[in-house]
Chains A and B, each alone.
Chain A
Amino acid sequence: MRSTAFFAGLRAPNSASLVMWLTALAVLMLVGLPLLFIVLQAIFPGFSRGEFAGAFSHFAATLGNADLIRLLLNTLQLGLAVVLVCALLAVPLGALRALTRVPGGAVWDILFLIPFMIPPFIAALSWMLTLQPRGYAQQLIGLDANDFLFSFAGIVFVMTLNVFPVVYFAVSRTMMSIGGRYEAAARVSGASRWRAFWRITLPLSTPGIAASLLLVFALTIEEFGTPATLGAQAGYDVLVTGIHNRFSDWPIDIPGAALLSLLLVLLAMVAFYLQHWLVTRRSYVSQTGKPSANVQSELGVWRWPVLLLFGVTAAAAVAVPILAVLATALTRTLSGGLALNNWSLRHFDALLNHSSGALPALGTSLSLAVAAALLTGILGALVGYLVVRAQVRGRRVLDLLSLLPNTMPGIVIAVGLILAWNQRFWPVQIYNTGIMLLLAYTCLLLPYPVRYSQAALRQMSENLEAAARVSGAGFITTFRRILLPALAPSLVVAMLLVFAIASRELVASLMVAPAGTVTVATFVFSQFEQGSPGVGMAMSAVAIFTTTGLLVALTVFSGKRLPINP
């Protein structure tokens, strides 16, 4: 981990050093520690029992497995396909949103946040309930798309609809902050609108777009819900399902799972360096502190095809899953289908009367999601600053470390956290408390604020901070008065994503939730496991509408300050 070089670099005496030290320490504890324990577990098979015998004895058996190459290639293929389809769908959507006056702009933004609040396994299940034979689509319009859904294309389709908003928001926010100024300059110099877009706006947006596409790649290769739900029937296995099987099939093979996880991390590191190479080749400073009006073009006759594009996307990504969730939640039995005499509120009733605690689960998830959003937001802004601005050695290590969780499946982080924190030597036992869930969410979701703040900082001229320093401001003041407000638009979007994802995170929650604590996702999951899909869907509906309602309220109360309503 080259820690000596890293800390030597931090020793530079300035007012920032304490904050930077704490930031580095926090990232090391949050991400480095569980990763270290996973590495130790991969090397020493008996590590979870406190034994160090038989180092590397698992490597041959796990790596020599004939299936491994297939799993690796499938993972890579799936990641690349989802990135490609996401780019084709979301880059045009984001660019249109930023540079033209799309009717109902803010409404589309809110709609495109909703996919984050739908747990991926619920989305996959919804598509199954919709497209399989005798599914909702066949009951309503006679459409049976079973063969499409349970295929590679179907998996890519469903996963794209889950994650494309990452790219949409990155592209639209980046292009908005670049503003129409550069385009105006280009047009004054005689460039056509298209030429200005291709030569100026698009290249200047590269850091944001590249970062978001890498994020999509990382999210895709570590996602479990969709491959597990659709992949099994399609006969399509990926690394994550392999890892998950090692964790959940008796006898449990934690060392094998740890080793496969490290492979996944390696895969993502390659993507990480690719992105790093891409965005640090040139300077992308476009924000100099001078006020810029964001000039949006009129769409004219193009407004109808553009609206159609937004509408179809929203229908597929939001309306279909939500309607399937509601249909399942509001029908008495699945076998009764969408018949009039099958409508019933009994599943919602079960939520209210249930002794299993649906409402406490909602409260737990929401408060943890708020805490995770605040923690990752602050930490993400600091890490972003440290990596982009501070001239310290070892910042690349910190950068890598802060982005790694995106490449580690939730279950791996959870096991790393258990191994790390369930030890007798800690003075305070935080294992088996709610702090574990907060640690897991913060670790898993830290990459969002880090990426967004880095992309924003790369576009911000250093002159702003220099001016503040010359005027006598210390680090804290500069950070608070100059950097934070400038970072705020991207950071708030990232924090909203963190909130949305944390409020429904499943895989890690299943492992680290202390006994006696239920979250929204673990509640829904057990309802499905125990054969109550109606109750599970009713809870999903309540959670999706609550989180969406909170975000809409936040947007309304914040007036024009939030980027979601620019």
Chain B
Amino acid sequence: MSSSVSTASIARAVIASLALAGASLAAHAETLTVYSAGPGALINSLAADFKAETGIEVNVFQSTTGQVMARLEAESANPLADVVISASWDSAVDLDAEGLLLNYQSANAALVPDFLKADTYVAQGVSALALIWNRNSSTPAPTDWHDLTNPAYADQITMPDPAQSGAAFQLLTGLISAEGEDATWELISDLSANGMIVPGPNARALNPVLQGAKSVVFGAVDYISLGQQANGEAIDIIFPTSGTVIAPRPMMILKSTQQPAAAKQFIDFVLSEQGQARVAESYLMPARTDIPALRPTINELNIITVDEAVNGQREAILQRFAEAVN
């Protein structure tokens, strides 16, 4: 900044930048605000299609479930979101229990199975948990969760952190429901003894396996890997023979919305044939049973039913998990 630059011209530049930032980002009164976890491409195309059909603009905030929920919590004095899409079923159950959600049953939800909807929320789509195995690795292809305790997989396993991934937590509750507490914690301890690392949420567990630093992910959400496989990554998505759990992605309308009609229209749209086809394109299972999927669906997979009582013990399960892997 030489002396020839006057303070006035700096001030002008600041004001201009401020105006630019403000003008380009100012929120419209007539727009719907959607907070969405999960694929950015999916929510962006849903928003664009919805605008084309109804003329209603959609402002999207897309991030991880954790960020979406933190933002909702921080905004709770003056909530801004109209519709929320989470990747964790629990978060919808909790928000519902707090009385923050609007009652709405979409006519398009008629073909969504009962266990994927409630009075205040409904699934957008569903993923399942799987073993993701690198075909170029020197390890054999696993067929079940328990295979990974085999010395052949020593120091070759990653697992998403159940504290940071709702889906990985769901896997723990599923295993506890199917095999009991003792067997589940013994399995996790054995995996840990076999050198399993827990590097963070889904993508952090997956990346080392893609490059080949590790060979297999224990319990990753499947749709991301199905997309990567379609793009040519040398990985296989293996659904364990003893069964797996699903991770439905709840959509809900906040009771505080100023535009309940538009919000309901949006839910209807996501559950329409067109919206569900978009969901299918991202390698998720559509929530509606009549829409074809690009992948194995609930009917073809061996699904473990999660015991509701187990679901409620989040703190205790995460605590026990931390002990088992340390």
Instruction: Known contacts A229-B204, A488-B1; decide if A355 and B73 are in contact (CB<8 Å).
Output: no
Does A435 contact B66, Cβ atoms closer than 8 Å?
Answer: no
Does A488 contact B211, Cβ atoms closer than 8 Å?
Answer: no
B289 on the A face (CB < 8 A): no
Does B61 contact A371, Cβ atoms closer than 8 Å?
Answer: no
Which secondary structure dominates chain A's binding surface?
helix
Does A529 contact B20, Cβ atoms closer than 8 Å?
Answer: no
Q: How far is the CB of A384 from chain B (nearest CB, A)?
A: 14
Q: How many angstroms between the C-alpha atoms of A516 and B161 in the bound complex?
A: 29
Among A275-283, A286-294, A416-424, the one that faces the other chain is: A416-424
Instruction: Known contacts A367-B20, A371-B17; decide if A232 and B66 are in contact (CB<8 Å).
Output: no
Q: How far is the CB of B227 from chain A (nearest CB, A)?
A: 6
Does B70 contact A433, Cβ atoms closer than 8 Å?
Answer: no
Does A248 contact B75, Cβ atoms closer than 8 Å?
Answer: no
Give the contacts of A332-386 with B (CB-CB under 8 A). Answer: 332-337, 355-356, 364, 367-368, 370-371, 374-375, 377-378
Interface size on B, residues (CB 8 A): 87
Does B67 contact A228, Cβ atoms closer than 8 Å?
Answer: no
Does A49 contact B76, Cβ atoms closer than 8 Å?
Answer: yes
B60 on the A face (CB < 8 A): yes
Q: How many angstroms between the C-alpha atoms of A513 and B27 in the bound complex?
A: 12
Does A250 contact B213, Cβ atoms closer than 8 Å?
Answer: no
Contact-size category for A: 35 or more
Does B44 contact A355, Cβ atoms closer than 8 Å?
Answer: yes
Residue of A479, A491, A495, A510 with most partner-chain B CB within 10 A: A510
- Of A49, A229, A419, A491, the residue contacting B1 (CB under 8 A) is A491
Residue ID in chain B nearest A414 by CB atoms: B74
Q: How many angstroms between the C-alpha atoms of A72 and B280 in the bound complex?
A: 46
A415 on the B face (CB < 8 A): yes
A-B contacts at CB below 8 angstroms, number: 237
Instruction: Known contacts A335-B233, A371-B18; decide if A134 and B213 are in contact (CB<8 Å).
Output: yes
Residue ID in chain B nearest A132 by CB atoms: B213
Q: How many angstroms between the C-alpha atoms of A114 and B190 in the bound complex?
A: 44
Does B3 contact A437, Cβ atoms closer than 8 Å?
Answer: no
Instruction: Known contacts A511-B74, A516-B61; decide if A374 and B13 are in contact (CB<8 Å).
Output: yes
B55 on the A face (CB < 8 A): no
Does B77 contact A251, Cβ atoms closer than 8 Å?
Answer: no
Residue of A374, A419, A423, A495 with most partner-chain B CB within 10 A: A374
A481 on the B face (CB < 8 A): yes
A residues near B64, Cβ cutoff 8 Å: 248, 529
Among B32-40, B118-126, B291-299, B302-310, the one that faces the other chain is: B32-40
Does A418 contact B204, Cβ atoms closer than 8 Å?
Answer: no
Q: 19 A-B residue contacts at CB 8 Å?
A: A146-B213, A250-B69, A250-B91, A334-B207, A334-B211, A356-B40, A367-B17, A418-B75, A419-B77, A438-B17, A488-B2, A491-B1, A516-B27, A517-B25, A529-B203, A531-B203, A531-B224, A533-B210, A561-B2
